Structure 1
Amino acid sequence: MASVLILISTLIEIFIWLLIANAILSWLVAFNVVNTSNQFVNTVGTFLYRVTEPPLRPIRKVIPTMGGLDISPVVLILVLIFLRNLMFEYAPRMM
């Protein structure tokens, strides 16, 4: 059971880093630091968008952007950290 919990925790951690990478890449594109016509940047951006957009979409419906600032990744990261901590809090009781 502990191995499964560690695997789920690791997957949550990887997804959090993908959310952070997506946010940073979107800022770099918005400020014209990187160009999306570059094939590598386009491929990475497309991958990050396809991976992170499905869980972010319901949050964006509930929390609108505030003056061009999208806080949905922050909300999702906080929810994922909460769920991971909750998982480890109640896991020892189940074993």
Structure 2
Amino acid sequence: MTSLFQILMMVLQVAQFIIIVHIILSWLINFQVLNLRQPLVAQIWDGVNRLLEPVYGRIRSFLPQNLGLDLAPLVAILVIFALRTILTNNQEYFF
């Protein structure tokens, strides 16, 4: 059962990393540090968007529409932190 706990924690850590990469990429693209006309940047951006859009879509359906402010990544990271805390606090059930 220890393996299951470690796998769950690793999956949550990878998801958190992908969300942070998406946030940083969106800032770099919006501040025109990176350009979507570059093929590598466009491929990475498209891949990360395809990975996260199902998650963000479900979160956005619950959030109110804001004036251009997307809170879905913040909510997703908070959910991951909450899940990691719950798993860590109940770690003894995995041993």
Q: TM-score range by the shorter chain?
A: 0.7 to 0.9
Instruction: Please say if residues 60 and 72 of structure 2, whose CA atoms lie closer than 8 Å, have aligned partners that are also in contact.
Output: yes
Paired residue for 1:80? 80
Paired residue for 1:47? 47
Instruction: Please say if residues 12 and 84 of structure 1, whose CA atoms lie closer than 8 Å, have aligned partners that are also in contact.
Output: yes
- CA distance in structure 2 between the partners assigned to 1:7 and 1:93 by the alignment: 15
- Please report the TM-score for the alignment, with normalisation by the length of structure 1: 0.88
Paired residue for 1:66? 66
Query: For the aligned residues, what is the CA RMSD?
Result: 1.5
User: What's the CA shift for 1:18?
Assistant: 0.6
Distance 1:50 1:11, change over 3 A: same
Aligned residues: 95
- Please report the TM-score for the alignment, with normalisation by the length of structure 2: 0.88
**Relative contact order, higher structure (CA 8 A, sep 6+):** 2
Q: Which string of whole-angstrom CA distances, capped at 9 and with x for unpartnered residues, describes residues 67-90 of structure 1?
A: 222111111111111112212322
Give identity over the alignment, percent.
29
After TM superposition, the runs of 4+ consecutive aligned structure 1 residues lying more than 3 A away are none
Q: 2:5 is matched by which residue type in structure 1?
A: L
Paired residue for 1:17? 17
User: What's the CA shift for 1:31?
Assistant: 2.0
